[in-house]
Amino acid sequence: MIWKEAVIALTSVLLEDETFKITTEEKIEDLAGSIGNDGLINLPVIIKKKSGYAIVSGYRRIKAIKSLGQKELAARVLHKNTAVLECVKLAVSDNSFQRTLNLIEYSRCYKMLSHYYKEKELSKTALLLGLPDNQNFIKKVIRLCDLPGSMQKYILLDTLSLPMALELSKPEYKQIGIAIADIFDQLKLSLNKQREFLTLCYEIAAREDIAIADLIKSDDFSDVLSDQNLDRNQKTHILRAYLKKRRFPSIKIFESEFEKNVSKLNLISGAKLIPPADFEGNSFTIKLEFNKISELNKQTSFLNKLIKNPVLEKIVSKG
């Protein structure tokens, strides 16, 4: 690869040309401060184009230098006939050997290389360039850089897991993937809860012959998500219960029957009967709240009577 060191006018650098851009980091303040104090240690690499110089590596360095008010740039200038593939390899290696890349950066690397290598050759070349060479990993990650920018941002923030990002990239979620990712981000759902949420939405839409978009954009959803009096855990609990009841209508029937029977028990103040979660299983809980021992004595006496109440037997046997 032929190159030479040169000093060029910063105005001739094509900052908008991101053909070889790999980094997702946009902040340059710390880097600018370092360059301002110690100078530019690792020169950016550029290549001459008809209208100026395209950046091969060093996007942040060049932006940092520009932010310092400098007019000129010291860089390594590749020969204009340098093959695009060689530029790609240089861009990848310059990033991968300096730091650990994130998922989107890996995706950009593999995507660039995939234009020149098939599966096995891509894996071998990736290893030589400092990238993971696992073919299964490559197949998954390579798709990420084609996702909408907001979804890529959620991946970088770890609020959208890789499995869910890949799931939302499927054709059936093309029109609604971003909206679902927005909900995941707002509620900060774990991977298991993301899976459950998506499964319930998909099954409800199929069962009721409606679009998932109509489900998650309904007032039932938006009212909960926009309620400033609820924290994200409360919102998650409410929406999860709503989806389960809608997916499994029998839960609503059990709930109504349970509430009707509980009212017949005439529970003493401070006593509460709690059914199994989603009415799955047979474990009921009795919760007692008291401020004085005398209150506890009353509740204990009431419990002895409650045990013999046929309504309680009816509730438990249906549970």
- Write 235-238 long-range contacts (CB < 8 A, 24+): 235/186, 235/187, 236/187, 236/189, 236/193
> Counting every residue, how long is the chain?
319
pLDDT on residue 216: 92
Rounded distance between C-alpha atoms, residue 178 and residue 150, angstroms = 7
Tens of pLDDT, residue by residue over 165-220, are 999 988 888 788 999 999 999 999 999 999 999 999 999 999 899 999 999 999 99
Query: Judging by beta carbons within 10 Å of its beta carbon (0-12, 13-18, 19+), is residue 64 exposed, middle or buried?
Result: buried
CB contact at 8 A, 25 and 97: no
Rounded distance between C-alpha atoms, residue 214 and residue 205, angstroms = 9
Rounded distance between C-alpha atoms, residue 245 and residue 278, angstroms = 8
CATH of 1-98, one of 3.40.50.720, 3.40.50.300, 3.30.200.20, 3.90.1530.10: 3.90.1530.10
State the virtual CA torsion across 51, 52, 53, 59 in degrees, nearest 10: -100
Mean pLDDT of the chain: 91
Give backbone dihedrals phi and psi of 41, rounded to 5 degrees, phi first: -85, -45
Tens of pLDDT, residue by residue over 107-157, are 999 999 999 999 999 999 999 999 999 999 999 999 999 999 999 999 999
Within 8 A by CB and 6+ apart from 137, the residues are none
Could you tell me the residue ranges of all domains in the chain? 1-98, 100-145, 147-247, 253-318
